Amino acid sequence: MTDSAPDTLVTDDMIERKGVWGSERVSPPIAESDIRKWAIAVYWPETPPAIFWDPEYAAGTRWGGIIAPPDFNPFAWPIVTPKDKAAKAEKPKEKPKRKLRGMNGGQVETYGVPMRPGDVITMRNRLRDWEERETRLGLTLFSYSEMEWHNQDGELVKRRVSTAILY
Amino acid sequence: MTINVYFEDVNVGDTIPAWSRKTDFMHWNRYAAVNDEFIPIHMDDEAGRAALNEQGAFGMGNLRYAYIVNALQDWMGDEGQIREIGCQFRAINQKNDVLTVTGTVTEKLVEDGEHRIKLDIDVVNQNGDPTCPGHAIVTVPARS
């Protein structure tokens, strides 16, 4: 059987998931040392700004204490249990209409309140929308995913809309 | 408290101070350690070549994004806040590349009670190639 060009790259699974928020993930409480190590890594080999590691200095700023850089990831290093692995392995996957190649089409992140030590962040994701058109790569799907983070007080920390290009 | 930039002192066309890093495994491995991003293409030259990058392992897009955050943070100081960053990853961060974040002010506005500055941003390599063009919106304090 030949790999004939389909009329659309949109799958039934995508149509079902469009606009629907998936299950939430909750981060462990953010530790001051998590923020300090993050700042050291992203500023390496220079010393990061004191707002990320010096409580005394940070207390005198508008923030009143240490905050995390906006790109800080509180979901790094999750505990993955054997049960989680089994559930992932069992999840059925819909086959694409043909073998697709993908590219990261970029992202837009908007920021609300900053993350602080002790915060617990809840994340949710959804497939927001897509568009499909002919490009020099042939039939191309631009898929837009949305991710939101809220803190324990329900305040928006971050919203990311990312574009995946599939062809 | 560090106030580097007041709204009134910024003009359209101003550029932010260039923010540079020469990147290699020392940077990438540290970032992998904090972001739990142990992906072979960023750690192993063979894996990088298998992914069709002749020069071997290459840097993380997330770290390049962090450099944009850092450049804006260092320019604004601690009383400012990043409200939005959008960018596209256009080129690979090769080992020993010197990446420089650039930014040019495109608009100033007062919106929702905040003094906001819009910028065009990019991360260029040592050859001047744009690797991450995009935009940013930050808020900074006003004198009045």
- What is the set of domains in chain B, with CATH numbers? 7-139 (3.10.129.10)
Closest residue in A to B20 (Cα) is A43
CB-based contact (8 Å) between A8 and chain B? Answer: no
- List, in order, residues 6 or more apart from A89 with CB less than 8 Å away: none
For residue B3, what pLDDT band results from cuts at 50, 70 and 90?
A: confident
pLDDT at residue A101 in the model? 84
pLDDT at residue B144 in the model? 82
d(Cα A74, Cα A122) in Å, to the nearest integer?
Answer: 10
A63 neighbourhood in chain B, CB within 8 Å? 78
The per-residue DSSP string of A129-140 comes to EEEEEEETTEEE
* 3-state secondary structure at position B64: helix
Minimal CA separation from A71 to chain B, in Å: 6
CB-based contact (8 Å) between A156 and chain B? Answer: no
CB-based contact (8 Å) between B51 and chain A? Answer: no
Minimal CA separation from A106 to chain B, in Å: 4
Question: Cβ contact (<8 Å) for B69 and A60?
Answer: no
Q: Report how many Cβ contacts below 8 Å link chain A to chain B.
A: 79
CA dist B30 to A42, A43, B27, B37, B110, Å? 8, 10, 5, 10, 39
CB nearest to B78's CB, from A34, A61, A106: A61
Q: Is the pLDDT of residue A1 over 50?
A: no
CB-based contact (8 Å) between A109 and chain B? Answer: yes
Closest residue in B to A161 (Cα) is B86
CA dist B32 to A25, A143, A158, B137, Å? 21, 27, 22, 28
Question: Cβ contact (<8 Å) for B86 and A105?
Answer: no
Q: 0.80 exceeded by the pTM?
A: yes
Flag the least confident range among A5-14, A93-102, B105-114: A93-102
- Domain range A12-30+100-166, its CATH number among 2.60.200.20, 3.20.20.70, 1.10.10.10, 3.10.129.10: 3.10.129.10
A88-105 pLDDT per residue, tens: 777 666 666 677 888 888
Q: Is the pLDDT of residue B40 over 60?
A: yes
CB B116 within 8 A of CB B109: yes
CB-based contact (8 Å) between B29 and chain A? Answer: no
- List, in order, residues 6 or more apart from A33 with CB less than 8 Å away: none
d(Cα B75, Cα A72) in Å, to the nearest integer?
Answer: 19
- List, in order, residues 6 or more apart from A63 with CB less than 8 Å away: A51, A114, A116, B78
CB-based contact (8 Å) between B66 and chain A? Answer: yes
Question: Cβ contact (<8 Å) for A41 and B62?
Answer: no
Instruction: Break chain A into its structural domains and give their ranges.
Output: 12-30+100-166
Q: Tell which residue, B4, B1, B13, B48, has the closest CA to residue B28.
A: B48
Flag the least confident range among A79-83, A115-119, B40-44, B56-60: A79-83
* Tokens matching residue A15: 């149509």
